[in-house]
Amino acid sequence: MSQRVLMKGNEALAEAAVRAGCRHFFGYPITPQTELAAYMAKRLPKIGGCFLQAESEIAAINMVLGASAAGARVMTSSSSPGISLKTEGISYIAGSDLPALIINIQRGGPGLGGIQPSQADYWQATKAPGHGDLHILVFAPNSVQEMVDTVASAFALADEYRMPAMILADGMLGQMMEPVVLPEEGNVTLPEKPWATNGHAGEVRNIANSLYIEAAELERLVKARFERYAEIEEKHSRHETYGLEDAEIVVTAYGATARVAKAAVRDARAKGIKAGLLRPVTLWPFPKKAFEDAAKSAKAFLCVEMSMGQMVDDVRLAVQCKRPVEFYGRTGGIIPTPAEVLAEIEKLAGGAE
């Protein structure tokens, strides 16, 4: 087993991608994500890969589309405003049934916003990562180790279902260093991609395309895609629980905020409040069933985010109004503190008695 090393989140994501067999990176620099691209710029040329800094995010995502169509394991990374520019390309990639990995190290918005950590792109990632009827896989790791562990499975699921996958992190996870155990370096066998447009060596000439003039044909394709989405929702939602068994107050948060929430839950328990944490690990598919189950015994839910309240919509839908769902958030780059979250838990506990 590899040894524990101290690594910055952004650099660990890059090395994990390399070890997952990714040899193609197209991007454009933006804080707080830049170390990821910088790492790839140093690393990929040494191992026969291709790092290319494009003239814009739009160009970069279309290079991703091209490389993916040719069968390459390919990725890009950016931060919030840059992801907005990539959404057109993400829609085209989804519409062309191509796999790709997109990393969003979120910062405050809207507009150029700020450069401090944020989770205000939840709606964008899970509801409208581009125009049209589509979903992408969205993973929300909460530590440098989990970011590393997510990379290979995000690539694999994207390949399996021929769709884009996103790792939705934030400036705190990207910038921080933590001990991490990297996967072993070695030859990665990529899955066969018989659909790749790599020079029509075979009988069939493959085409990567998202334009369908015939309405009936487009409807048939979109419906077939949604059947795959249904299978993913059935099989691939992930979540983590902490002290949920006897919890009366279920705190829910994803990514870095889940760590703050967990610290607050620990403090609440020390004060005798029966609190627990339900952390969605995948945001699409959203772990609806875990929330349904938790709603059976919990008295109330508290959703904590670095936004004005976005995931809370999905929590309310999953809980189906059976229990009150309260919200606490900080935005614009402010990270909520465990003390603030604890105060909200105490408010709810007081009200529940």
CB of 302 to other proteins, least distance (A): 16
CB of 133 to other proteins, least distance (A): 27
What does the per-residue mask of binding to other proteins show for 288-327, with x meaning CB under 8 A? --x-------------------------------------
- Rounded to whole angstroms, the Cα distance separating 148 from 168 reads 13
When asked if residue 29 is in the footprint of other proteins (CB under 8 A), the reply is no
Q: Which amino acid is at 85?
A: L
Buried b (16+ CB within 10 A) or exposed e, 103-112: bbbbbbbeee
CB of 2 to other proteins, least distance (A): 14
Pick the closer one to other proteins by CB: 217 or 234: 234
Candidates 73-81, 209-217, 299-307, 332-340 — which segment interacts with other proteins by CB under 8 A?
332-340
Distance of CA 195 to the CA centre of its chain: 26
* 3-state secondary structure at position 106: strand
Q: What is the DSSP letter of 99?
A: -
Asked whether 331 and 307 are in contact (CB, 8 A), the reply is yes
- Count of CB atoms situated within 10 Å of the CB of 199: 9
Beta bridge partners of 178: 7
Size of the site for other proteins (CB under 8 A): 36
When asked if residue 337 is in the footprint of other proteins (CB under 8 A), the reply is yes
Pick the closer one to other proteins by CB: 10 or 91: 10
What does the per-residue mask of binding to other proteins show for 132-171, with x meaning CB under 8 A? ---------------------------------------x
Candidates 13-21, 123-131, 214-222, 252-260 — which segment interacts with other proteins by CB under 8 A?
252-260
Give DSSP secondary structure letters for 217-259: HHHHHHHHHHHHHHHHHHH---EEEES-TT-SEEEE--HHHHH
Which residues would be at the binding site for other proteins (CB under 8 A)? 4-6, 31-32, 115-116, 171-172, 175-179, 236-243, 256, 259-260, 262-263, 266, 269-270, 281, 290, 335, 337-339
